[in-house]
A = this chain, B = another copy of it.
Amino acid sequence: MKIETVDLFYLSMPEILDIGDGSQDALLVRVRAGGFEGWGECEASPLTSIAGYVCPMSHSACKPVMQSVIGHNINTPEDIDAIAHLVHAQSLDLLQADHILSGIDIALWDLLGKKNQAPVYQLLGYKKSYPKLAYASHLFGESPELTFEKVKKSVQSGFHAIKLGWSNFGVQPIHTDHAHLMAAREAAGKNTLLMIDAGTAWKNNVNEAALRLQKLKEINAHWLEEPFSNGNLSAYKQLSVCRPTVPLAGGEGCNNYYQAKAMIDHAGLSFIQIDAGRIGGITQAKKIVDMALLRNVTYVNHTFTSHLALSASLQPYAGLEAHHICEYPAEPKSLAVDITLNYIKPDNNGYVTAPQEPGLGIIINTEAIKKYVVDTQITVNGKILYKTPEL
């Protein structure tokens, strides 16, 4: 089979709020080949990614992503790998390329799974898909009391693992940080996993971060996430050897294998968090899983949008029993809910499992998402390079 069409759909809520909620818009990718159809999602700026897919060539290493996809073979997993290599060679100097490739790669795996009547994790070589403990991500409350209520509600709704993050944590007075942390643990009870996400709050300041370790230890934080900017290897490394030890997590900002490898090799991480919608898709994510295994670092997905993205993010480590934690979109906007007809729901113990159905096992609700479509057109020298396709 050859890849016949790749259609990009820019979807958006009617209003985008200036908050840290990545489920407010989406870039869906539909790939068709040989009578099969696959769907993927980029965790990326939709308009910028569309432009990078169709842009005119600048030179031999700055071509539109389209050129490495349309008309190429799609019969085996090796074909998907070949497309990734081609994109990296032909779009080397197109910075946005990895974000664009991500949704395409995911859609190609979905298509290949449907063709082979097998879930993607089996195509990746896993025999079985193990349950993962789903954690709900929440912003800290505006006061310690509101943080308490949030966590209480999340536990009551069935989550056995909870992450609290960003907001003002790390930049407000340290005693306020402490009050939030203690409220969270009190509400969570002793047996709920509690993770804390600093959202790069301390930029380059290891001392500021280290000041929080004692309290994080006291509340038994399972990890401290993104204390610094992605790729700030030396700051991560320094913090990782400060006492008391709190395991560090990071990596969501990585957009290729080498960046993730650098974080694993040099940042002192205990958990590497990869967004399949940014890293270049399932192909690159699986390579990072394999490397994390070698380095004794635990792999965790980063997912904040639809259950299409969630299924894609589960596949690369579905077969690893010991890597058992999964970020679960807890409060998505209606757009992210409406993208799919079916969902990956936590069981009574709070565990989720990658679908057993072919491909990603997720059905796109093409009717429901029509109302979110953002009509987009890009014209260059009188020629229309992109126009929103028919759903």
Contact = CB atoms under 8 A, between A and B. Distances in A.
Contacts of A261: 233-234
A390 interface: no
A218 interface: no
Nearest to A382: B375
A45 interface: yes
A381 B374 CA distance: 6
A337 interface: no
A58 interface: yes
Report the copy number of this chain in the oligomer: 2
A307 interface: no
A60 B20 CA distance: 5
Interface stretch (A28-36, A49-57, A154-162): A49-57
A124 to B, nearest CB: 20
Interface string A297-338: 000000000000000000000000000000000000000000
Interface in A170-203: 200
Interface string A222-241: 00000001111110000000
Given A48-B51, A51-B48, A96-B95, A59 B233 contact: no
Contacts of A22: 58-59, 62, 93
5 tightest A-B CB contacts, nearest first: A51-B51, A231-B258, A47-B55, A48-B52, A96-B96
15 contacts: A20-B61, A21-B59, A21-B60, A24-B59, A45-B58, A46-B55, A47-B51, A47-B378, A48-B52, A51-B378, A56-B374, A92-B200, A233-B261, A233-B262, A259-B259
Given A25-B58, A48-B48, A233-B266, 7 more contacts: A19-B59, A44-B93, A45-B94, A48-B55, A231-B258, A234-B265, A377-B379
